[in-house]
Amino acid sequence: MEGVITLVGQGLYMALAAVVGLGIARLLKRDNTLGCLIAGVLAGMLLPVIDYDTGLRAENLHQLVFFVILPVLIFESAWRIDPDILFRWLGPILLLATIGALICAVITAALIYYGIYHPSGFPWLAAFLTGAILVATDPVSIVVRMRQSHASEELLTLIEGESLFNDAVAIVLFSFVLGIATHSVVEGSVATGETVTGAGNFAVYFSALFFGGLGVGTICGLVTAIVILYLRSAGAALMVLVLAAFGTFYLAEHVVGVSGIIAVMLCAIVARACLREQQDTYLAHAAPTWEWLGLLFNALIFVIMGLVITFEMFANQWLAMIVAIVAAIGARALAVFMVSPLARFVGPPIPQGWRLILSWGGLRGVIAVALVLSLPTELPYWWTVQSMVFGVVLFSLLVQGTTSTRLISKLES
């Protein structure tokens, strides 16, 4: 009983910090993520004063991130996208999120490895792990500004859809590389006890996780839609959708053994597509419900980042952070401009101006932070990887996020 009370108190402490962060963001007129990051730093400074333990440990962060936070964030992002426009741009989105993501991860890893060039302390595996994490993009702040300026709905869908599929691929890639790093293949947090090596084995492993996740997600999405139509209740629909997010992940991970994140994403897309006629009836409260859930978990992730970030990171890892920032931005731009010309073969062509927005607007945010927070401390280079990812995320918040509005206005005018 005492343990439960302690857990509730720790959760309330972080939730309170998240609310304070939203207030700070409103006061500073900045993104909520930046306000929550500041609140997390302040909450961390307060801990020694009040002699309080948040209960955050490396071993439980991985479980928290993969089994609680990511399913909600992925489901919420997928639910928000208009399925009709998504299907129109599905070819270019998949092209950018698969081939583009792999190119971005490899280039990022190579630039980081040779930029740091410390093979004994920072091997190729560490560079690939960092590259996999930095593939994930978070265009939330860009999309908000674009909606305010009444930008093209098709451009918005392309950016959000590419980011959504990108995140799913990044999580699978991260899990694979982390599995090698810890001497076992891991998807989410489930170890299979085997090690996959070689390009052929990787292709088979990745395909099984990816397409298996698509299959499970499609079935779960159809079942979710059928149950909601049968129950015919707005309140019951919300229950079913939340259950679908967590249940799909659990089923894919623990029962079938495929990617839970891919499955959750497809479940949301299929369910919304099947229920498009019910947006004003059974799903009238679905959008605001997922909006506040997404806001809560986004805020908590950045509060946790603020709690664990330290001054020593900047003092000791500043050069690695600069290398990672240059690598992440350069690799993203190269990947987008290398892959975008191929879009016309699988769907609508991507205009030149949109490619610039995709490149500079590919901010790193909540998914990158969530993944790096789940790194096991047994890895000798975990702190270097965490410092680099934090540096890139801070650059995204402070520089890319604040300058993208001018780029969008110029290209859209």
Identify the residue with better confidence: 11 or 110. Answer: 110
Are 298 and 252 spatial neighbours (Cβ–Cβ below 8 Å)? no
Which residues are paired to 186 by β-bridges?
A: 191
Percent residues over pLDDT 70 in the chain: 86
What pLDDT, on the 0 to 100 scale, is given for residue 193?
A: 36
Percent of the chain that is helix, strand, coil (3-state, to 5)? 80, 0, 20
What pLDDT, on the 0 to 100 scale, is given for residue 67?
A: 81
Q: β-pairing, 190-191 with 186-187?
A: antiparallel
Mean pLDDT of 40-68: 76
Token pair for 366: 């909540």
Q: CA 210, 66, 111, 119 torsion: positive or negative? A: negative
> In CATH, which of 1.10.510.10, 1.20.58.220, 1.20.1530.20, 1.10.10.10 is domain 58-412?
1.20.1530.20
pLDDT higher than threshold 70 for residue 150 = no
Kindly write down the DSSP assignment for every residue of 317-378, as one continuous string.
HHHHHHHHHHHHHHHHHHHHHHHGGGGGGTSS---HHHHHHHHHT----HHHHHHHHT--TT
Element (H, E) at 71: helix 70-80
Percent residues over pLDDT 90 in the chain: 35
- For residue 190, the SS3 value is strand
What pLDDT, on the 0 to 100 scale, is given for residue 339?
A: 94
User: For 111-144, what is each residue's pLDDT tens digit?
Assistant: 999 998 887 788 999 999 999 999 988 766 667 6
Mean pLDDT of 25-44: 88
Residues 6+ apart with CB under 8 A from 9: none
Domain ranges of the chain: 1-55, 58-412
Mean pLDDT of 350-363: 85
pLDDT higher than threshold 60 for residue 222 = yes
What average pLDDT is seen over the chain? 84
pLDDT higher than threshold 80 for residue 57 = no
d(CA 20, CA 39): 6
Token pair for 134: 């930095």
pLDDT higher than threshold 70 for residue 413 = no
User: For 156-194, what is each residue's pLDDT tens digit?
Assistant: 888 888 888 888 888 888 888 888 888 643 434 333 334
